[in-house]
Structure 1
Amino acid sequence: MNINYSLSRVKPIALFVGSLLLTGCAVGPDYQAPSVPMAEAYLYSTTDNAIKQDYWWHEFHDETLNQLVADAQQQNIPLKLAAQRIKMANSYRTVVESFKVPSISVGAGYVNYQLSKNDSLLGPALNPLGSSVSGLPDSVSGMTLLDNQHDGGFVAASIAWELDLFGRIDRQSNAAEIRVEQAQIYQSGLTTLITADLVHNYLQLRGAQQRYQLLEANVADQQKTLDLVRKVVRAGYGSDLDIAQAESMLAATESLLPQLEIAQQVHKQRLSMLLGEPLTQIDIRVANAQPLPELTGVIPVGLPSDLLQRRPDIRMAEREMAAVNEELAASVANRYPKFFLTGAPGLSAGSFDDLFSSDSFGWVGSVGVSWNVFDGGRGKAAVDINQARFDSALLSYQHAVDSAFTEVDSLLFTYGKSQENQQRLNRALASAEKALGKAESLYQAGLIDHVSVLDAQRQKRMMEDRQIVARLQTAQVTIGLHKALGGDWSLAREETSATETNDSE
């Protein structure tokens, strides 16, 4: 049952509404950010508690990489879509906030009409040439003395305003504001994902290029080995088994070349998608193969409590709780009466010339109340739905926090082990280089043949390849760790800050 009162006695209702304005207050639960117990440090942290640098990829000291990141953040299509989402959220907030203020509409009209002389009732009375119709009142028959044209005009305005006594519109406006914040957080998180993906593919491309060059050198060495083995066999100091083994090793090494070519093409294609550029442009950008850049310095991971403000997924989950809480409060307020103030001042006259005279002004005002006394439980069900949504948002927030801490600790452990692996491979490569030096010395002394030297070279290049693979694994873990630690990676923020600084100067 919907009760809608339009009251003509304004003064008593005005006093009643005034008292409600003084005593009315917002209903529904007030939001409180959740408190999360956490450790003082990460379980596998081996660095200090300094705050992590946002633009960490600069530590690679690779200008090509830095330019690719800057261009991707400007050109990436999903990031442009995220910016449009912020615009839509801002527009929606404006729509919701517009209900806080009175709405005013203005209308005007002009009327021109003529009575029909052929009308069965009034036609003879209006026709000056026709005879008077018997039985018509004098007032009607006298219309023959009047002009049969009538012009009129009016200008009217209407004012409507809902008195938000219980905070329903305020709560909806708060929720809309939080949705804007969520759109901004989404854009920040997407910037992190896009940037991390670009850095990963760029490093993998450089690693594949370096491994390809190393593999070509290894193929050349094994071809020399095969040629020497064939000469030795022709000289009667070997067998066909030696030739077959050398040929098999060369073929196995050559089979890796197409795989690395595929890897390079895949990473180029991914860079093309991230940058929104054709593949030919990417080929130009990375035409000159460069060594795999190596990250310098340590990774400052900060404190565990920093994650709550730096991780986009945690911030998004917390803002979802806040938004749903406001929507819950709005659904509670929706069960209370709604009060309206309406008014309609206007000008009206029978002649357009008199339209704007003081005697043509008129107005009407009213106060109304609308209250769903009985709705079959619909209002309570809406409250229960939003309460369940809030409880679900709380659980999602707790899950996001737990997952974030687990992810960071796991990546810190992996990062430490990858560092150990790389250090061991560095020692193995140093030993392989030492063995090659001794083999070359022995060969110059005539104590071993050239095949042994080539084999030592092959061992050295094999260790170099394993070292590159280990560095790529470390780089992948490093990217994942920086992504897990969060932060704002948007270069536009840095440009905005620089512009504000220049403007202040």
Structure 2
Amino acid sequence: MIRRKLLNWLSPKNLHHSVVLGVLVTLVGSGCMLGPDYLPPPVTVEDSWIYQNSKSLDSLESINPYWWQSAFADPVLDDLVAQAIENNLELRSAALRALQAQQLLSIAIGNQFPQTQQIEGLVDRSKYVRSGITGNLQSEYYLNFNLTWELDMWGQLRRLVNSGAADFESSLAEYDGLLVSIIAQVAQTYINIRTIKRRLEVARENIRIQREGLRIAEVKFNAGEVSALDAEQAQTLLSNTEATVPGLETTLQQLKNTLSILLGMPPHSLTDILSVSPTVPDVPSIIAIGMPQDLLRQRPDIRQAERLLAAQGELIGVARAELYPNFSIGGLIGAIDIRGGQLNGRSDAWDLFVDFEWNVFNYGRLRNNVRLQDATFQQLVSDYQQVVLQAQVDVENAIVAYLKSQEQQYFYNIAAMASEEAVNLSITQYIDGQIQYNTVLTTMVSNLAQQDILVVAQGAVAANLVQVYLSLGGGWQIVDGLTPLELLPEETIEDMLRRTHYWDKLLD
């Protein structure tokens, strides 16, 4: 390291020193920025979706940011989503990470300005005694102020600001991505709860039918028309069906517990909220999905990956700047006042200097660091391209699952209606003695399975629709433009203000 004081004094008589200082200060704002300058890398995006010609899809219309409202029109779901946005603890943590990134950016911006400020002062009163002779009382007052400013000759500090800005934008995209995920999880969990409730209703309805079948078999046995075998078979089927109810109730409570975590509240608080009818939500006949090119600005994970890439791109210039001299200017202004001594009186002191540091003996390490930052950048290019590719696959998978689940539901609905009619016919024929009870059992087992499959298929259609919106990245726009502090609930801000008042300016 070479450190050399180039200029340590300045006076009106030495005008050329003032000129030198003016030139150096000018260089602060006009210094070059070592590259490379960041440009987003090219990515491959398809022109259309594979199934975009489906009558259920509208690729010309962009998705509604409040898609859950337009898709399901369910006030209970709307309220659950609002509570999750307000109280979800993971979302709150992401907002605080964005707030931290914002403060790091502010620190990077501040580093462009005078960085070292110090005020030193001294007040001293003394009296000396020597060989029995007492000296005069002496008072000394001393005050110094110094300042150092690093000149951004090669753009290192500006690159760090750009990198900090990209990191901050990346943290906001991370919040947006989590918000989209939380909204989708709330919607899917709510759909699953209503689906399980409907499955319970189907199970209990089949239990009622099977109890009636058992009663008929017992009546016929008591009348001597059939053996005890029919009643025993009927009881076996009924007990097995009754055993499915506790399992479904367990799943229902577990889903409620999962929802409570998403809402940031204890499980017992959901009792009144989820007193909903046991029906599976319907889906609209046509849904808007936009075009594949919309993903680049719509998916938060794509924006996050691109911003991380941009932040890393700036660090290459930072690493290159370390290969060149680092200049700084500084100065000191002070005053000394001595009373009562031989140096009685007041004097002023000042100093102006320009320093530079040059790591000339570390070029191997510094060059390796440039290579390291560039290799990291190239890795993030691949990561970014992978995210874009995966996003398109996610949407295609969600679309095909949604469309094909609708087709399945159509056929399952026909099968369920047929199985229900088969049960009614078999019971009537059994009463008339036209068939054996084995046939009745077969139709009842089939009916329970078909009715349950139909409900599961209905729930899958609604859940797959949520997955479509999740893969498209919709929903984050509802908080677009809000600052990290505005994303936090009032009680969190109040906690922070109680610890320190320095948040006041950001809240103004």
TM-score range, shorter chain: 0.7 to 0.9
CA distance, structure 1, for counterparts of residue 306 and residue 272 of structure 2 = 44
Q: Tell me what 2:49 maps to.
A: 42
Q: Tell me what 1:393 maps to.
A: 380
Contact residue 41 and residue 304 of structure 1 kept, 8 A = yes
| 1:431 CA drift (Å) | 3.6
CA distance, structure 2, for counterparts of residue 494 and residue 370 of structure 1 = 42
Q: Tell me what 1:56 maps to.
A: 67
Contact residue 203 and residue 245 of structure 2 kept, 8 A = yes
Match of 1:345 among 333, 336, 340: 333
| More divergent stretch after superposition (404-413 vs 88-97) | 404-413
Contact residue 222 and residue 458 of structure 1 kept, 8 A = no
Does residue 149 of structure 2 align to residue 161 of structure 1? yes
TM superposition score normalised by structure 2:
0.84
Q: Which runs of 5+ in 2 are unaligned?
A: 11-15, 487-508
Q: Tell me what 2:209 maps to.
A: 221
| 1:211 CA drift (Å) | 1.1
Q: Tell me what 1:234 maps to.
A: 222
Match of 1:112 among 108, 119, 124: 124
Match of 1:29 among 12, 23, 36: 36
Distance 1:480 1:2, change over 3 A: farther
| 1:486 CA drift (Å) | 0.6
Q: Tell me what 2:360 maps to.
A: 373
Contact residue 160 and residue 314 of structure 2 kept, 8 A = yes
Q: Tell me what 2:392 maps to.
A: 405
Match of 2:254 among 243, 259, 266: 266
| 1:458 CA drift (Å) | 7.3
Q: Tell me what 1:138 maps to.
A: none
| More divergent stretch after superposition (456-465 vs 475-484) | 456-465
Does residue 98 of structure 2 align to residue 82 of structure 1? no
Q: Tell me what 1:65 maps to.
A: 77
Distance 1:94 1:289, change over 3 A: same
Q: Tell me what 2:7 maps to.
A: 7
Q: Which runs of 5+ in 1 are unaligned?
A: 118-122, 128-143, 500-505
CA distance, structure 1, for counterparts of residue 481 and residue 332 of structure 2 = 52
Contact residue 4 and residue 371 of structure 1 kept, 8 A = no
CA distance, structure 1, for counterparts of residue 481 and residue 277 of structure 2 = 30
| 1:227 CA drift (Å) | 1.4
Distance 1:22 1:261, change over 3 A: closer
Identity %: 29
SS of equivalent residue, structure 1 residue 105: strand
TM superposition score normalised by structure 1:
0.84
SS of equivalent residue, structure 2 residue 390: helix
SS of equivalent residue, structure 2 residue 327: strand
The Cα offsets for residues 348-375 of structure 1, whole Å up to 9 and x where unpaired, read as 21149xxxx9x64432111111111111
| 1:21 CA drift (Å) | 6.0
| 1:81 CA drift (Å) | 0.8
Distance 1:62 1:16, change over 3 A: closer
Q: Tell me what 1:102 maps to.
A: 114
Q: Tell me what 1:140 maps to.
A: none
CA distance, structure 2, for counterparts of residue 494 and residue 453 of structure 1 = 64
| 1:303 CA drift (Å) | 0.9
Contact residue 3 and residue 372 of structure 1 kept, 8 A = no
Contact residue 234 and residue 441 of structure 2 kept, 8 A = no
The Cα offsets for residues 307-336 of structure 1, whole Å up to 9 and x where unpaired, read as 111112111111111000011111111211
Distance 1:225 1:441, change over 3 A: closer
Contact residue 179 and residue 323 of structure 1 kept, 8 A = yes
